[in-house]
Amino acid sequence: MPSDSSTLWFATSNRNKFHEAQSVLSRYGISLRHLRRQKTEIQSRSLTTIARFAAEKIAVKESRIVVVEDSGLFVEAIGGFPGPFSSYVLTTIGLSGMLRLIHGFRNRSAYFQAAIALSFPGSGSAMFTGYARGRISKKARGSQGFGYDPIFIRNGATRTFAEMGLEYKNRYSHRAVAFGKLARWCRARGIARSETTITTES
Ligand code: ITT
């Protein structure tokens, strides 16, 4: 498909991320489609660098406007770990392992960061970031959301993201903040404005 300015393609293997992004962008009348492609994930401490590299590669290869979002959970007591290793840590030690890692620490502060690259084929990227600040719960609680949601409590809340549900998360999460910025940027430039239904490519 040739490049056009009416469609943004979100390259992600994570359906939950896609649906959350879609929900945020639809509030702004921006259309988003799901692109299932292998991404090149470089090693870096910076989520922004990781997202930008992957998005620019796919944008050129596919001749499409591509969105890549790299997220991570940064836990203060353990020097910001797992950060860029969040995916690996979740699949290896899981939530119970994370809770064990910080067992006994009084400081349970943590934040999520989302870094989004919006890449235009051969023309670079616009970058957007969002944060959700809070703390790690003592136990995993709740069944909604995904990933670290059962152990993350946003500042000002008493329940985890997984207990609060999608509507809350889509208002206050790191992803909601970052995609809100992307949406306003696109609207100001007339990119991907649409009232049409969002679809998924298989
Ligand atoms: P893609 O890279 O294919 O988009 P991913 O699931 O690997 O999908 P990330 O690298 O952005 O996505 O996420 C790193 C880890 O952090 C991964 O284990 C996610 O489950 C988790 N994570 C990301 N966003 C999250 C959120 O909003 N709530 C809870 N966990 C999240």
Q: Could you report the average pLDDT of every consecutive run of 10 residues in the chain (202 residues)?
A: 71 97 95 92 94 97 96 98 97 98 97 98 96 98 98 98 96 98 95 60 44
147 and 94 Cβ atoms separated by less than 8 Å: no
Task: Please tell me the predicted confidence (pLDDT) of residue 197.
Answer: 40
User: How much distance in Å is there from the Cα of 165 to the middle of ligand 1?
Assistant: 17
Q: Is 34 in the pocket of ligand 1 (CB under 6 A)?
A: no
196 and 45 Cβ atoms separated by less than 8 Å: no
Would you call 70 a catalytic residue per the annotation? yes
User: How much distance in Å is there from the Cα of 72 to the middle of ligand 1?
Assistant: 7
Q: Is 154 in the pocket of ligand 1 (CB under 6 A)?
A: no
Atom of ligand 1 nearest to the CA of 132: 27
Task: Please tell me the predicted confidence (pLDDT) of residue 163.
Answer: 98
Tokens of 169: 């998360």
Task: Please tell me the predicted confidence (pLDDT) of residue 47.
Answer: 97
User: How much distance in Å is there from the Cα of 102 to the middle of ligand 1?
Assistant: 20
What is the distance between the alpha carbons of residues 64 and 8, in angstroms, rounded to a whole number? Answer: 8
Q: How far is CA 19 from CA 33, 64, 77, 129, in A?
A: 10, 20, 31, 18
pTM assigned to the model? 0.94
User: How much distance in Å is there from the Cα of 10 to the middle of ligand 1?
Assistant: 14
For the domain made up of 8-201, give the CATH fold: Maf protein (3.90.950)
What is the distance between the alpha carbons of residues 157 and 164, in angstroms, rounded to a whole number? Answer: 9
Q: What are the structural domain ranges in the chain?
A: 8-201
Atom 28 of ligand 1, nearest CA residue: 149
Residue length of the chain: 202
The three-point CA angle 200-38-117 to 5° equals 75
Task: Please tell me the predicted confidence (pLDDT) of residue 4.
Answer: 60
Exactly one of 70, 98, 102, 130 is catalytic; name it: 70
